[in-house]
Chain A
Amino acid sequence: MSTRPEELNVLAVCGLGMGTSLILRMTCETALDRLGLKATVSHTDLSSAVSQNPDVLVGQGMHVADLAGIGTIQIVVEDFVDDVALESQLRQALSDEGWL
C-alpha cells in the first residue's frame, strides 16, 4: 500500500513498441477515463521499458514476465481491445494498492 500519485503514469508495452502497444494504450486511456482517473499513458517496446519507472505497467503475459520490478502495479492483459475487461482489472489492481 502506498499513496497514489496525483497523476498516474501508465506504460503500455509490446515487442516493437509501435503497433500492438499503441492499441493497448488507446484501450487503457478509455478504461482510465471511465474510472475518472487522471493519467498519462505512453507506449514503448520491451527493451526501452526496462529503463522506465511507471506507476502501472500493462502488457501481455510474455512481456510482463520479462519486466519484473518495472511498475508499482503490473497488469497482464489478454485482449488488447477489450476496454471493459481492462477497466475491471485496473479497478481491482488500484484498489488492492489502496489507490482507488
Chain B
Amino acid sequence: MSISDHELDRRLESLPRSCQPPDAVWQRLQEVLPDRMQALPADQSGRTPSRLGTRRMALAAAVAGLALIGTLLLLPMRPLQDSALVAVPPQQTVREAAAPAVGLQRSCQTVEAATAENEAAMRALEAALKHEPGNQLLLEFLAEARLRQADLNSTATRLAARHNHDL
C-alpha cells in the first residue's frame, strides 16, 4: 500500500531547503576566480609554466571554441533560408508549401548538429582545462558553451512544439 498524496506533500514540505555553505568549494573557487580589476601580464600571472604539449592542446581548444562560437552565432540565421524572405525558385516554393514540415525538420537537424558540436567542444575545453586549470580564456569559452547548451535545449523545444503543431 502506497502513502497518500497528502502524506507525500507533508514530507516533501519538511525537507530542508538550505544548509551550511561548503567551505571546500569556496577554497577552490578562490583559486580560480579571475581578477575583475586588472589582467596581469602573462609572466606575472602566477601560473606554472606549461609544457609545450599542454599549450598546444589549450591553443587547439581555444581555436575550436572560437570556431564553434562563430558557427553558433550564424545558427539563428539559418531558418531564414527556408522562409519566403529568400528568393527561391517557384518550383521549390511549391514543394515546400506542399511539405511545410521539411524546413522545420531541417532546422531541427541543424540544432541537433549544433548541440553535438557544442558538446564536443565542451569535452575538448575540459580536457584542456585539466592540463591548465588557470587558463582564463578556456574557462570563458567553457562557460559560454554551457550557456549555449541551455539555449540550444530551449530552441529544440520550440522547434519540437512547432513540429507537433504543424502535424
Q: Answer yes or no: do A and B interact.
A: no
Q: Which residues of A contact B (CB under 8 A)?
A: none
